[in-house]
Structure 1
Amino acid sequence: MALSDQNTALSDKVAELSARAKKAEGRAAAARAKSKADLQADAETARSDAQARAKKLRESAEANKNKLSVWWYDLQRTWNEHVAKVRDDIDTKRAEHDADRAERRAEHRADDAVFAVEFAYSAIEEAEYAVLDAELARKEADELSTA
C-alpha cells in the first residue's frame, strides 16, 4: 500500500472509531429505559461483537507481529488475557443470587465500566498520537529523500 493511501486509511480508521464510540454512547444512554431482557440481549450482542473484534485484533497482531512494535504486540496479548479473566469473573459472579452480593456486584460492574471508558479514552488519545506521529515520520522521510 502506498504511504499516502496508508495515511488515508489511518484517517478512515479514526473516523470508524469515532462512529463506534458514538454508537456506544447511544446504547449506554438508552440502557436505563430498557427492560432486563432487552438489556441482557444487548449485553450478549455487545459481548459477541467485542469477542469478534478481539479475535480480529489477535489475528492482525499475529499476522503483523514482525511489523508491530514489540510493546503493541505485548499489549494486545495481555489485553486478551485480561478480558478473558474479567469475563470468567463476570460469569462466575453472575451465578451468585444473594441480594447484598448482587448489589456489590452491580457497584463493581459500574466501577469497571467507568474504568473501561477511561481506558478507551486513553486508547483513543494514544491512537491519535500514533496516527499523527506516523504522518510526521512520513513527512520527515519525504524531506530526507528530497534533500
Structure 2
Amino acid sequence: MSEADGGPDDVAGTPDPVPSPIRVACAILGLEALGLVAAGTFLVYGTIFGHPGGVLRSLLGALMAYGGAAALLLGARSLQLLRPAARTPMVVIQLLALPVAYSLAFQASRVLWGGPILVAALAVLYLLFTPPAREALDRVPPD
C-alpha cells in the first residue's frame, strides 16, 4: 500500500512524512535529555544542601548537563522536522557517549548507570541509519 491509496502513512488524508525510526530515535534523545536534567539537578541539589568538593566544579558540571540536555532536545526537534543537518551532531553526541558509557559500566563497575547510556547511544545510532531514516534525511532540500 502506498500513501496515495490510503496506506498506513495516510491518516485522514494527510501523509506522515516522519519515519518511525526517526520518531523512536527522537524519543530516546528526549529520555537522554531528561537524564541529563536529572543529573544537573542532582548536582545543584548536592551543591546547595550537601558538602560538594568544589562549588564551582559542581555548578559547572550542572551547567554542562543542562547544556547537553538542550542540545539533545534541539537536535531531536530538528530531526522531527527532517532537517538533514541535524543527524550529524546527534551522531557525534552518541559517539561521544559510547566511551563514557563503557567506562562507567565496565571500568567503574557502574553497570546500572553506564548500561542504559550505552544501549541508548547504540539504539540512536542504529535508528538514524536505517533505510527509512536515511531516505528521509538524505534528500536534496528544495530551492
Does TM-score exceed 0.5, indicating one fold?
A: no
Higher relative contact order (CA 8 A, sep 6+): 1
| TM, length-normalised to structure 1 | 0.41
Q: Which structure has the larger Rg? A: 1
| TM, length-normalised to structure 2 | 0.42
More helix by share: 1
